């Protein structure tokens, strides 16, 4: 038996959520997963987690789950994450990300859950004037995705002031890679993440990789991003949970990144090295709303949590992503 409290993971059948479940279970935490399986996969949920299929926007349902399992902490990953889709269908994002988060927070308050960890995003900064970007930089989202996540951060701050709930919002940069033991990875069809797209191309699942913008004010003209290994990100969530439990009066908002950036071409070169082949590249115009560089200032998370990234090597991130992509091909026969 464990003396650790039960943690609810929303979206635990998805990419980042499933890795958080692995990190929790590896650490001896009892886990309940709620996922509606619209984009997640039932097989991605660890066998030792309790799985409940359902809608986090249903307050009565969620309150029942929280009470039934005596949940003491929530890690909230469920939501929609595709930026161009958020521009085309903003109401979907305000429902899935904002309204459903509001319902989940209400269920948490009603059920007396004291700790809440929220999956936020660097998209809350919009196009930052300074890079690396700090937590106190202006929040000026340029799309409904970033706006919908920022609204949830604001709700959490207000609720934490009014109720006995503390929270941590982790603003992710570019999440990549897969579980080093091959237990989970990025499985979504049609994913837009560069490293996922590049390893798909390396395995013949795509004809090429589009490079959007070659005339940025960056060393090689292509966009620079801060890529963080999904298992390091999951580890940060568990450490954040422990920090909230240790100090119930404390709320945290922190960047989750390595504080180092790689350009699109540098990432593709890394894929070429790992695969020992040349991935086809097609140069395309810039996409609207893409900043030239988006790199985290990660001093706050390093100072606040005992977080020591274990997989910060770009080659290792690509290697794990490639291994998972091969495993996924075997699973789907594709």
Residues carrying an active site annotation: 145
Residue tagged 């799985």 (tokens): 51
Going from the C-alpha of 318 to that of each of 94, 228, 279, 322, the distances in angstroms are 33, 11, 13, 6
The residue whose two tokens read 């940025």 is 216
Do the bridges between strand 224-225 and strand 262-263 make them parallel or antiparallel, or are there none, so unpaired?
antiparallel
Distances (CA, A) of 287 to 105, 127, 212, 226, 298: 34, 13, 6, 18, 27
**CA–CA distance, 334 with 319 (Å, rounded to integer):** 19
Residue whose pair of structure tokens reads 């269908």 in the numeric block = 89
- Residue 283 sits at φ, ψ, to 5 deg, of -80, 130
Q: What is the CA radius of gyration of the chain?
A: 19
Cα 302–Cα 5–Cα 63 angle in degrees, nearest 5: 105
C-alpha to C-alpha distance for 67 and 111, rounded to whole angstroms = 6
The H-or-E segment that residue 152 falls in is helix 144-162
What are the E-state strand segments in the chain?
6-10, 31-35, 50-53, 71-76, 115-121, 166-172, 174-176, 209-212, 224-225, 227-229, 252-256, 262-263, 281-284, 293-294
């Amino acid at each position: 038996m464990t003396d650790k409290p039960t943690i609810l993971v929303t979206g635990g059948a998805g990419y980042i959520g499933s890795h958080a479940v692995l990190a929790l279970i590896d650490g001896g935490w009892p886990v309940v997963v709620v996922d509606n399986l619209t984009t997640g996969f039932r097989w991605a949920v660890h066998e030792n987690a309790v799985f409940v299929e359902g809608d986090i926007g249903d307050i009565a349902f969620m309150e029942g789950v929280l009470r039934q399992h005596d949940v003491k902490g929530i890690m909230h990953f469920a939501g929609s994450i595709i930026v161009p889709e958020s521009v085309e269908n903003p109401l979907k994002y305000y429902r899935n990300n904002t309204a459903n988060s509001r319902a989940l927070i209400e269920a948490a308050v009603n059920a007396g859950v004291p700790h809440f960890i929220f999956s936020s995003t660097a998209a809350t900064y919009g196009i930052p004037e300074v890079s690396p970007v700090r937590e106190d930089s202006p929040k000026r989202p340029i799309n409904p995705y970033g706006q919908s996540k920022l609204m949830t951060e604001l709700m959490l701050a207000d609720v934490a002031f009014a109720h006995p709930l503390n929270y941590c919002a982790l603003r992710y940069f570019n999440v990549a890679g897969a579980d080093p033991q091959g237990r989970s990875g990025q499985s979504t069809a049609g994913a837009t993440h560069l490293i996922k797209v590049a390893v798909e191309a390396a395995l013949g699942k795509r004809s090429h990789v589009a490079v959007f913008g070659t005339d940025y004010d960056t060393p090689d003209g292509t966009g620079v991003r801060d890529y963080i290994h999904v298992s390091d990100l999951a580890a940060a969530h568990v450490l954040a949970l422990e920090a909230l439990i240790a100090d119930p009066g404390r709320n945290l908002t922190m960047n989750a990144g390595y504080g180092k950036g790689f350009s699109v071409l540098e990432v593709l070169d890394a894929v070429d090295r790992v695969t020992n082949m040349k991935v086809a590249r097609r140069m395309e115009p810039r996409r609207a709303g893409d900043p030239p560089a988006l790199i985290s200032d990660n001093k706050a998370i390093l100072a606040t949590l005992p977080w020591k990234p274990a997989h910060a090597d770009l080659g290792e991130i690509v290697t794990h992503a490639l291994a998972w992509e091969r495993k996924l091909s075997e699973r789907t026969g594709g």
